[in-house]
Structure 1
Amino acid sequence: MIKKTLLIEIGTEELPSRLLYKISSYFHENFVKKLNFYNISYKDIRCFSTPRRLALKVIDIDTTDKFIEIIKRGPSIVHAYDQNGSLTQTAIRWLKHFEININETNRLKNEKGEWLLYKTKKKQEKIELLIPKITESALKNIFIKKYMRWEKNNQKFFRPIRNIVILLNNQTITGNIFNIPSSNLLQNHLSSKENKITIKDARDYPKILFQKNKIIADYAIRKEEIIKNIKETAQKINGCIKNNDFLIEEVTSLVESPTVLLADFEKKFLNLPKQILIHTIEKQQKCFPVYDFKKKLLPNFILVSNINSKKPEKIIMGNQKVMHARLSDAEFFFKNDRKVKLENYLLSLKKVLFQNNLGSLYEKTLRLKTLIKWIAKYNSSNIQDSIRAALLSKCDLVTHIVCEFPELQGTIGMYYALEDQEKKDVAIALKEQYLPAFSGDKLPCTSIGCALSIADKMDTLSGMFYVGNIPSADKDPFALRRLAIGIIRIIIVKNITLNLKDLINKSLCLHHEKNFKNVILSDKIFKFFIKRLFHWYEETGYSIKIIKSVLSYKSTNLIDIHRKIQAISYFIKIENSELIMLSIKRISNILEKENNKITGCINTKLIKEAEEIILFNQIEKFKINTKNLFLEKKYQDILIKIKDFEQPISNFFKKVKVYDTNSKIRLNRLLLLDEIKKIFFTITDFSYLY
């Protein structure tokens, strides 16, 4: 076995920072799959990525020639030979298709029959020929939507590919990937005068990049280096930074030769609202704000440059100028906004279109006012405060700050409301109305925030359905799926006893008074919610069978659905719960065989056998003991009591003949079983579970 080190580097134009890590991971995964497909063994694979390169270094890859076994199963012997023992046309066509001589075939025998079989060994392509094919396939099978096309050949990747390096130890593997010939010349840093770096041996990677231009190709090492240097830089001024994984990941994806520098801004900008200041530093400038040990902002920021300059002060100066301009703009907009109170912007919403055929933001605000008044009754929110929050909810959208920094919608509303001496819960709700903003995002904390978030999302969702902007299988331009999941999460996690169908109908009526169209739309929206609910539970880790069993009852109460799913998930994990499930299955099968409907009431005078008396008493006892449990919807406790049926049912089937010769006794016993089934199926449809 001949083992070597393989290097593949794909040089590109600047890859999108938010996708870099994902693209690199997919490239690695796809490459590994292809190596396994060709049965190529190796010791380890290291993955590298910077804004302008994707690379893989395969340690101890097996480069020896390999043989692959080819097996072709032909027609069965019955169909391969006729009565005279001659080959049939079916067999002849098979032999001709694979260019096989009948003398080269064997026979495959097993318990199912006998077939013609062709077996042979073929030499696999040399690894030098396979690697370029594997590489191109691994790149083309990265499934992320945001592609670019470039040049005459109309190639498609995330950014144009400009350079390919494939080395096997010190041997350059020749091949074309995306019509670009491979070489042993690595792509250099963007600021370097020399475009290429010559690499003579794959084992020198990535060390050679660092030696030549301080390029840290390993994403994880680069990230650790940036974090370490940022912390050390902050400590020099007795400061610290707050953990911001998203920003760290983004900056790591933006640079390949990181240099951490300390800069400052004028102290007067510390008078700006903290969130505006942080947003400008982090989101707009991709820099790190510095705090003292009392968590107060300092007039400093840390930047990560992609250039190892001999005059870093020039880079610092340039960044300080840009930061000053940004903060000056924010200060100007903030002062202009504060000339009037937040509520004074309400009438300005009349000039802003919310959506075609759904009116202005002012009209949306009036709908929110009505809807939140109804929702507040169910989540114990102060109704007047909730209405106040609804009226102020969209006012910040026409402020200068939000027009300049749209990401601060809600946050600015909260700041301005607090400055206007609005109640704290009302102000916080203005920020929380947009939560959750993405999958896994935090939920609103205040009851008014929850009510406003539900109202806002429901108004948008019902409105979009009303005007026909309904998501398709692959398109959801208005993120209605995300809105639906947000509503579901808030209602369930915050335990709000809202009826989903009532919420939908109430919202639809605000777009148009009750008419026949609303009934059809209401059903469509409800089904849309149930699909989202199913996927949400599935992603959360619940059993698909349990989810289907509960959702099959088409309950409109999300809290009730959630309690049932939790209770059944607990129940099926209880020891010997499968025995009671088998009993339910047996009862259901018996009742399904009866063509005639089983009607009537149980006649106690016809209950003679001891086992059926015990079973009947168990039914009566269960009804008495669970009456309050059903009212309180304590399904877990109910299911635990259902287990008490296990032994009585078992004894009943052992000792009692269901199909008695007396038709009245037979019907009475079927009614007894039917009563048990009704008890079980009150909670869920158990037929999905067994």
Structure 2
Amino acid sequence: MPELLIELFSEEIPARMQARAAEDFCGLLHKALVPLMAAAPRPLYGPRRIAAVGEMAARAETPGKEERGPRIGAPDAALEGFLRKHGATRDALTQEGQFWVLSKPGAVIEAPALLARVLPGLLRSFPWPKSMRWGTSGFAWVRPLQRILCLFDGVPVPFALAEGEDAVHGLAAADLTEGHRILAGTEPFAVRSLAGYEAGLRERFVIADAAERERVIEAGIAALAAAEGLEVVPDRGLLAEVAGLVEWPVPLLGSIDAGFMDLPPEVMRTTMRVNQRYFALRRPDGSAAPRFALVSNIVPQDGGAAIVAGNEKVLRARLSDARFFWDQDRKQRLEDFLPKLDGVVFFESLGTQRQRTERLESLAVRIAPLVGANLALAARAGRLAKADLASGMVGEFPELQGVMGRYYARQDGEDARIAEAIGAHYRPLGPGDAVPDEPVAMAVALADKLDQLAGFFAAGQKPTGSGDPFALRRAALGVIRIIRENGLRVPLREVLLATQPLLRPLVQQGLLPALPDVNDIMEFLAERLRVQLRAEGARHDLVAAVFGATPDDDLVRLLARAAALESLLATPDGANLLTAYKRAANILRIENRKDGPHDGPVDRDLLEADAERALAGAVESATTAVAAALAAEDFAGAMRHLAALRLPVDAFFDTVTVNDPKAELRANRLRLLGRLCAAMDTVADFSKIEG
């Protein structure tokens, strides 16, 4: 199939925008060219270009279709108007029933013509997060667009971006692109294929594929580090960003002055990463090494000596700034930063960060006994958790919040558990981040996230399908992970209710419209749990069934019940019992619509058949036994008692007619089925189980 290659060549594109822009471009192309393009094209991107390459049919014929026109006998004006609308004549009309019908033949779509028609509009409406205009044109792009390369089957597809009198500075598609601005100059070269495009760029010091640039950078700095017995601190985000900053990566190593090596390693890494895009190195024992890696975008003639020296000079200045903040912050105790939080707004409806620390202190004390934490230590850690937000270091590097608080708490002689809680209470920051596992840290981390959820829900800032600006989904998953991975028995509803008196002063001040609805937050947490379990491959219908059977808010207990239910359904008894439940539920649903509901106790005097007497006895026994097992949290035992119903249920359906002609027998048997379903529903809502 013919090859399509499109490149949009511009001034430097911000690294953070490149991958998304290339993916968006390929997606929009596929949508616009879908009659001729079966699969989305592959994206290529770099500092000065985004490109798409794929396969596309040369032509396609659209199927013909019929358009119904006016009624037979309608005024001539109506018929003529219909024909004008469709560009047809009377010869193309046929009569079908009471109407004229126009048969429209299919059209042949040629690839070059389709490309020339759709690309100008696609580029004009391209969804950059931020864009700019230059000169007198109304055309907008992320940075000034300089060239458009468009090839189909090796032949240029010319089109212009002009619209009306806007000539977009004469920009039109051709078969030209450029290599590295410094190493190859601005002389364009012609392209005839993807292979020629990639080879031509490589000859001119450009690696077109971002993934390949990442591999070159990663392997290069790893080899340089290994030669000195060191290793690179992993940082996939920085690796991707640097790959978006260079076209021809050349890894180099620089040195860090010994006078800065007493700074916390997190401070040095953050300074290097945020300000300079340097990679940190470490020794095999994990300690910081006095070296850093950088990536040049040119091939230095002196082996990199001048580039390294220049970057070392810049880094000294950056680390000197970090040293200043480090020294200044340590001149006071961490607690002394608290008054400054009075002037730091957390959120307009949720007061200041100082008010939030007071809520965290109270909530951490409420949670502490539930996780085995010392109350006094949990209170102190909650009080100090946000203090470092007023420090100079965190003001300069917000990424270090919590990290610096831990260092400053250690310096002040605070209990090690308090320092750990301050440093860990933001965790987990993402799916790959570990959760806190020390009790005081768990208490403060849960308090932080539950206060966040309660506060923003009360403020009407629930996540929507299109956005979650306050990271509430991450907070909810953090709560779930901390509880699950530490096996904590936390009554979430009770803890959430404890947030209400803490938020009441904000309601009284008119900042919040109302207290948070705990049921809403519980449903949000339940949905996040279902999402997490689906990602793990667990059966979400079983979780929904367990949640539907009980108002229990103990996640560990609920998940243990779901696991036991899954084990039951994996057995023949469980599978057959589920089938019987659905049969009974269907019968009840139908009969209840006639003259129901059919609930209440079963009349033993009306049990005529042996099978129904056996089932009634089994249901009564199972109900008692299941209740006792659930109370003892013996979920496997509860499932065994349910499984014992399988044989009497099978016998009942094999030998008993539920809808007996005698009304009293029918009603009693329907009540028996109702008791059966009710007994099973104490374990889980079986109606929500698929299969």
- TM-score w.r.t. the length of structure 2 is 0.85
Name the counterpart of 1:657.
657
Secondary structure at the counterpart of residue 341 of structure 2: helix
Tell me which residue corresponds to 1:215.
206
Give 2:165's aligned residue: none
Aligned equivalents of 1:506, 1:327: Cα separation in 2:
44
Amino acid corresponding to residue 498 of structure 1 in structure 2: V
Contact 2:615 2:652 in 1 (8 A): yes
Provide the C-alpha distance between the structure 2 equivalents of 1:286 and 1:122, rounded to a whole number of angstroms: 54
1:115-153 per-position Cα deviation (integer Å, ceiling 9, x unaligned) = 97846343223x22223445557767876x723242455
Q: Is it true that 1:206 corresponds to 2:203 in the alignment? A: no
Aligned CA distance change for structure 1 residues 147 and 579 (closer, same or farther; 3 Å):
farther
- Which runs of 5 or more structure 2 residues have no equivalent in the other structure? 163-167
Alpha-carbon offset, residue 447 of structure 1: 2.5
C-alpha separation in 1, matches of 2:423 and 2:309: 35
| In 2: Cα distance, 1:74 partner to 1:332 partner | 77
Where in structure 2 are the equivalents of 1:85-164 lying within 5 Å?
98=86, 118=103, 120-125=105-110, 127-133=111-117, 135=119, 146-151=129-134, 154-164=138-148
2:238–2:277 Cα contact (<8 Å) kept: yes
Deviation at 1:223, TM superposition (A): 1.6
Q: 1:478 to 1:160 in 2, by over 3 A?
A: farther
8 Å contact from structure 1 (residues 185, 198) kept in 2: yes
Q: 2:36 aligns with which of 29, 34, 39?
A: 39
Q: Equivalent residues in 2 for 1:239-278 (5 A)?
A: 239-278=230-269
Distance of aligned partners of 1:276 and 1:584 in 2 relative to their CA distance in 1, 3 Å threshold: same
Cα offsets for 1:549-602 (capped at 9, x unmatched): 455557350515444555555555555855433322222233232334435422
Cα contact 1:488–1:558 (8 A) shared by 2: no
SS class of match (1:165): strand
1:235 maps to 2:238: no
Q: In the alignment, residue 403 of structure 2 is paired with which amino acid? A: T
Find out whether 1:613 has 2:613 as its counterpart.
yes
- Aligned partner of residue 148 in structure 1, secondary structure: coil
Who is 1:56 aligned against? 52
CA distance in 1, matches of 2:11, 2:550: 52
Which residue type is aligned with residue 377 of structure 2?
D
What is residue 346 of structure 1 aligned with on the other side?
A: 338
The alpha-carbon deviation at position 230 of structure 1 amounts to 1.0
Equivalences for residues 633-652 of structure 1 within 5 A: 633-635=633-635, 638-639=638-639, 641-652=641-652
Q: 1:206-605 counterparts in 2 under 5 A?
A: 206-212=198-204, 214-311=205-302, 312-356=304-348, 358-438=350-430, 441-467=433-459, 469=461, 471=463, 474-512=466-504, 521-530=517-526, 532-533=528-529, 535-537=531-533, 541=537, 545-546=541-542, 548-552=544-548, 555=551, 557-559=553-555, 560-568=557-565, 574=571, 579-592=576-589, 593-594=591-592, 595-605=595-605
Question: Quick one: distance in 2 between partners of 1:188 and 1:680?
Answer: 70
Distance 1:439 1:298, change over 3 A: closer
CA offset digits 1:526-549 (Å, max 9, x no partner): 455455455555555555655554
Name the stretch that deviates more: 196-205 or 242-251. 196-205
Tell me the alpha carbon deviations over residues 186-228 of structure 1, each in whole angstroms, 9 at most, x when there is no partner.
Answer: 144344684342225334211212222x111122221221122
Higher mean displacement: 226-235 or 539-548: 539-548
Superimposed CA distance per residue, residues 380-435 of structure 1 (whole angstroms, 9 cap, x where no aligned partner): 22222212211221222222211221110101111222333433332221121111
Deviations 1:262-317 (A, max 9, x none): 21121121111121122222333211222233333222111101223335322222
Structure 1 residues 107, 441: closer, same or farther in 2, change over 3 A?
A: farther
Q: Is the 8 A contact 1:30 1:141 kept in 2?
A: no
CA contact (8 A) 1:209 1:215 kept: yes
- Mapped to 2, the partners of 1:41 and 1:361 lie a distance apart of 54
Q: 2: distance between equivalents of 1:556 and 1:137?
A: 55
Q: State the 1:468 CA deviation.
A: 5.0
Greater shift in the superposed pair: 502-511 or 484-493: 484-493
Residues 630 and 638 in structure 1, CA contact (< 8 A), matched pair in contact too:
yes
Aligned residue in 1 for 2:683:
683
Matching residue's letter, 1:23: A
Task: State which drifts further: 383-392 or 534-543.
Answer: 534-543
- Do the aligned residues in 2 keep the contact of 1:373 with 1:387 (CA within 8 Å)? yes
Aligned partner of 1:111 in structure 2 is none
1:20 counterpart = 2:18: yes
Aligned equivalents of 1:146, 1:571: Cα separation in 2 = 51
Give the conservation status (yes or no) of the 8 Å contact 1:546–1:689: yes
> 1:229: how far off?
1.6
8 Å contact from structure 1 (residues 219, 252) kept in 2? yes
Instruction: Find the aligned partners of 1:159 and 1:567 in 2 and give their Cα distance.
Output: 58
Q: What is the aligned partner in structure 2 of residue 70 from structure 1?
A: 63
Whether the 8 Å CA contact 2:351–2:506 is kept in 1: the answer is no
Give distance in 2, aligned partners of 1:570 and 1:117.
Answer: 62
Contact between 1:291 and 1:297, CA under 8 Å: does it hold in 2? yes
How big is each residue's C-alpha offset from its partner over 1:432-476, in whole Å with a ceiling of 9 and x where there is no partner?
111122456432232222221121122233333445555566454
In structure 1, how many angstroms separate the alpha carbons of the residues matched to 2:81 and 2:571?
A: 59
Given that residues 80 and 90 in structure 1 are in contact (C-alpha distance below 8 angstroms), is that contact kept between their aligned partners in structure 2? no
Q: In the superposition, relative to structure 1, how do residues 660 and 466 fare at CA in structure 2: closer, same or farther (>3 Å)?
A: closer
Q: Secondary structure at the match of 1:176?
A: coil
Q: Is the 8 A contact 2:458 2:515 kept in 1?
A: no
Preserved CA contact (<8 Å) 2:42 2:52: yes
User: Cα–Cα, structure 1 residues 533 and 46, in superposed 2: closer, same or farther, change >3 Å?
Assistant: closer
- The amino acid that maps onto 1:302 is A
Measured in 1, the distance between the counterparts of 2:605 and 2:154 equals: 95
Determine the C-alpha separation between the residues in 2 that align with 1:41 and 1:481.
Answer: 36
**Deviates further, 391-400 or 456-465:** 456-465
Q: Flag the 1:634–1:120 CA change in 2: closer, same or farther, 3 A.
A: farther
Q: Closer, same or farther in 2 for the Cα pair 1:646/1:391, shift >3 Å?
A: same
- C-alpha displacement of 1:372: 0.7
